[in-house]
């Protein structure tokens, strides 16, 4: 079970995480290398009278994915009045203000192209240029401090306001993983208010050599999935988009833990999402009565190594 780690800070983010001493000691080493969460409330437009929301879950491969082009295609396909919510994994932020970590700090190897044919896309820059509300929480430093002024993690970008922001540190396995959650809300054509919790998460893909690397990774992911699901149990309406790193696809234990908790999930499109080789990415739905969700894999990777999953959520 994950518990509140700190009270709500000045950025409006409530922190939750594991309470075990082993988890806390390891996570503290990773926290030293990252900057604070980024919150931008650009658009305050509310949803009134619409019966549909477009929700996308996508691993952007640390800025290699062309988020701008995906947004353009979503807006063209859904229409300008349809709200769009992006649940993003492996986004990055470049900042000269990242902290100088101590000697015992932990950080990840640098990911993302160093000499790209086109510029990598910083999540803060794209969100600002697109006029979206942005909520980003870094999980880890993207490379050692001498070589990198970047951190990377998960984000939610939305045309609707994002409220009740939460950062959820996963049980520690191989790297620090922080899921992000927010509430979107609106008013239906009948005048009735509604709200739904939206969550973006990214689980570990492997564990350390002393923990059997790939063989031990399903147990590690399952522990993280159970922690996340237990944290979300009190919510009545939730949409979870995640890179579960599910090496065994729909039979992966971590996927099955989440699918059991999210009874409204019906993956009609079961195509593989990672280079077309493995099904690592998933959408899960826990919806109010009368709501309906369908989703499909996008037709392009937009420069990432993952295909996006694109959902249409219909309100009653």
Q: What is the pLDDT of residues 271-302, one digit of tens each?
A: 999 998 999 999 999 998 889 999 999 999 99
What's the pLDDT tens digit per position in 115-131?
555 688 999 999 999 99
CATH number (domain holding residue 65): 3.60.10.10
Q: What's the domain range around 161?
A: 3-314
Q: Lowest-pLDDT range, 52-56, 64-68, 78-82?
A: 78-82
pLDDT band at 215 (very low <50, low <70, confident <90, very high): very low
Q: What is the mean pLDDT of the chain?
A: 88
What's the pLDDT tens digit per position in 161-170?
999 999 999 9
Q: Can you give the pLDDT at residue 235?
A: 86
Buried b (16+ CB within 10 A) or exposed e, 226-252: bbbbebbeeeebbbbbbbbbbbeeeeb
Number of domains in the chain: 1
Mean pLDDT, residues 106-113: 87
Per-residue DSSP letters for the chain? --EEEE---TTSPEEEE---HHHHHHHHHHHTT----EEE----PPEES--EEEEEEEE-TTTTS-HHHHHHHHHHHH-TTS-EEEEEEEEEEE-TT-----TT---BPP-S-SS-SS----HHHHHHHHT-EEEEEEEEEBS-TTT--EEEEEEEEESS--EEEEEEEPPPSSS--EEEEEEEEEE-TTS-EEEEEEEEEE--S---GGGTHHHHHHHHHHHHHHHHHHHHTT-SSEEEEEE---TTGGG-HHHHHHHHH-TT---------BTTTB--EEEEEE--TT-EEEEEE-S--TTSSB--EEEEEE--
pLDDT band at 69 (very low <50, low <70, confident <90, very high): very high
Mean pLDDT, residues 309-315: 93
Mean pLDDT, residues 69-77: 93
pLDDT band at 189 (very low <50, low <70, confident <90, very high): low
The token duo for 269 is 């499109």
Question: Pick the residue with more confidence: 32 or 3?
Answer: 32
Selection from 38, 37, 18 nearest residue 27 by Cα: 18
The token duo for 208 is 């350390």
């Amino acid at each position: 079970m994950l518990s509140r780690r700190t009270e709500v800070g000045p950025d409006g983010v409530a922190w939750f995480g594991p309470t075990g001493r082993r988890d806390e000691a390891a996570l503290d080493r990773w926290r030293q290398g990252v900057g604070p969460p980024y919150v931008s409330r650009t658009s305050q437009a509310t949803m009134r009278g619409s019966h549909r929301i477009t929700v996308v879950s996508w691993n952007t491969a640390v800025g290699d994915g062309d988020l701008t082009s995906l947004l353009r295609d979503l807006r063209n396909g859904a229409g300008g009045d349809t709200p769009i919510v992006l649940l993003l994994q492996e986004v990055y932020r470049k900042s000269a203000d990242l902290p100088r970590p101590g000697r015992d700090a932990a950080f990840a190897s640098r990911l993302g192209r160093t000499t790209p044919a086109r510029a990598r896309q910083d999540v803060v820059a794209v969100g600002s240029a697109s006029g979206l509300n942005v909520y980003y929480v870094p999980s880890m430093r993207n490379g050692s401090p001498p070589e990198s002024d970047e951190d990377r993690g998960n984000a939610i970008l939305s045309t609707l306001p994002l409220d009740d922001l939460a950062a959820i540190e996963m049980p520690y396995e191989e790297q620090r993983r922080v899921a992000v959650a927010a509430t979107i809300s609106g008013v239906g054509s009948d005048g009735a208010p509604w709200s739904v919790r939206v969550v973006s998460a990214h689980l570990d893909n492997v564990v350390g050599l002393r923990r059997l690397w790939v063989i031990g990774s399903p147990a590690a992911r399952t522990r993280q999935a159970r922690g996340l699901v237990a944290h979300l149990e009190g919510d009545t309406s939730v949409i979870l988009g995640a890179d579960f790193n599910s090496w065994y696809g729909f039979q992966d234990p971590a996927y099955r833990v989440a699918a059991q908790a999210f009874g409204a999930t019906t993956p009609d499109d079961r195509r593989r999402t990672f280079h077309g080789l493995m099904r690592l990415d998933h959408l899960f739905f826990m919806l109010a009565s009368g709501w309906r969700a369908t989703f499909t894999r996008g037709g392009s990777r937009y420069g990432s190594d993952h295909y996006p999953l694109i959902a249409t959520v219909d309100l009653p």
